[in-house]
Amino acid sequence: MKILAQRPVDKGRVAAAAIVVGIFAAAACVSVPDTERMTYVGPLPNGQTVAPDFASYKTGVDPYLGKRCSTLDCHGQLGRGLRLFSQQGLRAFDASGNGSFPLTSGKDAITDDEVRQNFLAVVGLEPEVMTQVMAGGGADPLKLLLLKKPLLYEGHKGGQVMIDTSDPGYKCIASWLAGSLDTNACTKSLEVR
């Protein structure tokens, strides 16, 4: 055994090697363009809106999400991407005045402001994908993590919440996105415990 002898450093070779490595590293960061990606702002030519309906969300979808997803140990946490307020779970911050949390978990009824904030969290979870889905008339809701995760098509810490696409909860959300709320499914989704 012998210790590797030190050799004079060829600065030119080192620089050339660095450039080659840099080129490869930069090339590795280039991805294939996502041709399906789009951001659309404004009404569609046929007058259809690209935003899901708030009124039907409030009456049909929010009660289901509130019961099934918004417990304090799941989506009823401030740090969640899909952060949900509910009567039994997390309560919203009131920014008016000096700012405070005026509502108590488990007591006060859910407010319109909380439902509105839930709606924004749902719609804003994947804004571009949501726009795609809505531009397609809600025909392909399984593009959304909102449905892929509870079906376990994607990893979900909370496990499988919906059995399959016949689940009342799935039908409730999918029908809302399609612009024709299935109120029976939404009602039935509240019966599942």
Partner 1 sequence: MARTILWVPTSAYAIAFAVAIGSCADPVHDLQVKALGGEAPNIPTGEYHRAGQPCTTCHSQYGPATSQFAIGGTIFHGPDKAIGEEGVRVEMVDATGSQRNATTNCVGNFFIPTSDWDPAFPVLVMIRKGQQTRSMNSHIGREASCNQCHKDPPSFDSPGHMSLVAVEDNAPPPQDCPVSPVATLPGSR
Please give the residue ranges that form the binding site for partner 1 (CB under 8 A): 1-4, 67, 71-74, 76-78, 88-93, 101, 103-107, 157-159, 193
Residue whose CB is less far from partner 1, 114 or 182: 114
Residue whose CB is less far from partner 1, 75 or 141: 75
Q: How far is the CB of 1 from partner 1 (least distance, A)?
A: 6
Q: How far is the CB of 121 from partner 1 (least distance, A)?
A: 16
Q: Counting every residue, how long is the chain? A: 193
Angle at 95 between CA 93 and CA 98, to 5 degrees: 110
Phi, psi values for residue 94, rounded to 5°: -105, 110
Residue whose CB is less far from partner 1, 101 or 153: 101
Residue 94, strand partner residues: 100
Q: How far is the CB of 179 from partner 1 (least distance, A)?
A: 30
**Measured distance CA(193)–CA(179) in Å, rounded:** 26
Q: How far is the CB of 50 from partner 1 (least distance, A)?
A: 32
Residue whose CB is less far from partner 1, 88 or 131: 88
Which single residue is written with the structure tokens 């007058």? 47
**Measured distance CA(114)–CA(91) in Å, rounded:** 8
Residue whose CB is less far from partner 1, 8 or 45: 8
Q: How far is the CB of 93 from partner 1 (least distance, A)?
A: 7
**Measured distance CA(58)–CA(51) in Å, rounded:** 14
Which single residue is written with the structure tokens 């090697």? 17
* Helix, coil or strand: residue 28: helix
- Please name the helix (run of DSSP H) or strand (run of DSSP E) that holds residue 66, with its range, or none: helix 62-68
